[in-house]
Amino acid sequence: MTANSVLKSLIVATLVLCVGCAFAQVPTQTGKIEILWLGQSATRITTVTGKVIVIDPFLTQNPKTPPQYKNLDALGKVDLILVTHAHNDHLGDGVELAKRNKAQLWGPAGLDQSLQTLGALPPELAPRMNKGGTITPLGPDIKITMVQASHSSEFVWKNPDTGKDETYPGGEPGGFIIEFENGFKLYHMGDTALFSDMKFIAEYYKPDLIMIPIGGHFVMNPKDAAYATNQFLKPKFAIPIHYGTFPQLKGTPQEYQQALGSTATKVFPINPGDKLTF
Ligand SMILES: [Zn+2]
């Protein structure tokens, strides 16, 4: 090989490499966990190694979701969808999001069974799990456990043949404990009343951050949520959610903080569209 041809080969190799790097899907590795809250319970989480998990994706019909996130593509690539229960302000755009991203939608077994039976999602995109189960669909370093919630989970589906709403069983409602690659643990509580096993959940799973419903009427009010935080859960961090979306959900983060009083928990009263990193 002459010096000239070596040089030519090097140039070609460099070009090929550069084309490769421009199109490679390199996940963002920040070393941190990013939480983007989108109103009600809707949350997009980017994990330490750049995996994207969306919980309770009620977006296009959510009055509190910022306009730029009404377009489902604005979420970027979604690797996994978690749904705490079947109510429309939680399942929301989950089916559409699962189809678009070919991403699994994990929820209470009864909800995923109904989605399968109705033909809303194929079985491979609607796998079944239940409370106490731990799944690792994103690899062994991210562990997702479904825990108890005190709520209901019926499921309203528009029959495409009649155009009429029909009600189906949506399994039992839950919350999710997610343990990330670095050991940090989030407890997304879903919709729930105050119940004393929150104390057990905290002792057993030791969550660092809770996302806790405070709106009242269908879930805990600020006083209940403050009791749960101070007496049962005692997390390092708390993000109040599920308030202000509908007229019945009257509780406010200010009332929650007032009811908490002096506490070791750092509360983030963020707005829909805000991001936090941990
Ligand atoms: Zn609900």
**pLDDT tens string 1-15:** 445 554 455 444 444
Distance in Å, CA 263 to ligand 1 centroid: 28
Q: Look at the pTM and tell me if it is higher than 0.85.
A: yes
Q: Answer whether 240's CB lies under 8 Å from 212's CB.
A: yes
Distance in Å, CA 94 to ligand 1 centroid? 15
**What is the widest separation between alpha-carbon atoms in the chain?**
81
Per-residue pLDDT, averaged over 126-135, amounts to 97
Q: Is residue 248 within 8 Å of 218, Cβ to Cβ?
A: yes
Tell me how far the alpha carbon of residue 119 lies from the centroid of ligand 1, in angstroms: 23
Q: Which amino acid is at 20?
A: G
147 strand-pairing partners: 175
For residues 231-235, average pLDDT: 98
Percent of the chain scoring above 70 in pLDDT: 89
Give the distance (Å) from ligand 1 centre to CA of residue 23. 41
Q: Is pLDDT at 148 greater than 50 in this prediction?
A: yes
Structure tokens at 48: 């330490």
Instruction: Tell me the pLDDT tens digit for each residue of 220-231.
Output: 999 999 999 999
- 278 alpha carbon to ligand 1 midpoint, in Å? 27
- Taking only the tens place, the pLDDT of each residue in 11-28 is 444 444 433 333 334 445
CA of 87 from ligand 1 middle (Å) equals: 5
Strand partners, 44: 36, 54
Q: Is the model more confident about 18 or about 98?
A: 98
Three-state DSSP state, 128? strand
Report pLDDT for 30: 58
| pLDDT given for residue 31 in this prediction | 78
Task: Describe the strand order of the beta sheet including 52-55 as a list of residue ranges.
Answer: 128-129, 104-108, 80-82, 52-55, 43-46, 34-37, 275-277
Nearest Cα neighbor of 173 from 158, 157, 195 is 195
